[in-house]
């Protein structure tokens, strides 16, 4: 949070390289190397990485995107919309604890894309569920 507060609008564009790593036998600083053994900035949650790398504005846009998707599709009927809303809300929740690069964020965006695509197919089919387009009613006189 201190790093994000020092550059709140643009952030730093990425993490800063740290000396040592959390993979050593003794994690943490020593008297010989007070900067060694710390976790990399942003390695303990996607939200913290975005805060440091893109600042508070970027973090607000990051979280705001997923929340706006959840709000936009909240009342959509269908299992695809329900799953997509759940994915968007869980993306916000898990971003506090886990990093999302590269796989998790990719799968999250694919899930949201499938939900948006399903809505587009329903709109083009006149509100019919995916794969079940309505048949036009035709009056036949003999």
Note the pTM of the prediction, 2 decimals: 0.68
Over residues 63-111, the pLDDT tens digits come to: 999 999 999 999 888 888 999 999 999 999 999 888 887 888 899 999 9
15, 38 in Cβ contact below 8 A? no
Could you tell me the residue range of the domain that residue 18 belongs to?
Answer: 2-124
Over residues 104-136, the pLDDT tens digits come to: 889 999 999 999 888 776 666 655 554 444 444
142 in any annotated domain:
no
4, 53 in Cβ contact below 8 A? no
Question: How many separate domains does the chain show?
Answer: 1
- The two tokens of residue 58 are 């970027």
Question: How many CB atoms are closer than 10 A to CB 90?
Answer: 15
Residue 103 pLDDT: 86
132 in any annotated domain:
no
57, 8 in Cβ contact below 8 A? yes
Over residues 1-23, the pLDDT tens digits come to: 776 777 778 776 666 655 555 55
95 in any annotated domain:
yes
Q: Of 57, 18, 17, give the one whose Cα is nearest residue 36.
A: 18
> Residues 6 or more apart from 29 whose CB is under 8 A from it?
35, 36, 37, 38
Q: What is the separation, in whole angstroms, between the first and last Cα of the chain?
A: 78
> Residues 6 or more apart from 133 whose CB is under 8 A from it?
125, 126
55 in any annotated domain:
yes
Over residues 19-63, the pLDDT tens digits come to: 555 555 556 667 777 666 666 655 678 888 888 888 899 999 999
């Amino acid at each position: 949070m201190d790093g994000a507060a020092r550059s709140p609008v643009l952030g730093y564009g990425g993490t800063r390289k740290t000396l040592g790593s959390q993979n050593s036998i003794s994690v943490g600083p020593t008297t010989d190397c007070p900067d060694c053994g710390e976790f990399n900035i942003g390695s303990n949650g996607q939200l913290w990485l975005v805060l440091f790398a893109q600042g508070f504005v970027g973090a607000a846009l990051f979280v705001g995107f997923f929340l706006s998707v959840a709000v936009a599709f909240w009342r959509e009927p269908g299992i695809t919309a329900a799953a997509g809303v759940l994915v968007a809300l869980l993306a916000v929740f898990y971003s506090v604890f886990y990093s999302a690069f590269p796989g998790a964020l990719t799968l999250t965006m694919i899930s949201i894309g499938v939900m948006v695509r399903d809505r587009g197919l329903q709109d083009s089919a006149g509100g019919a569920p995916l794969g079940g387009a309505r048949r036009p009613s035709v009056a036949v006189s003999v």
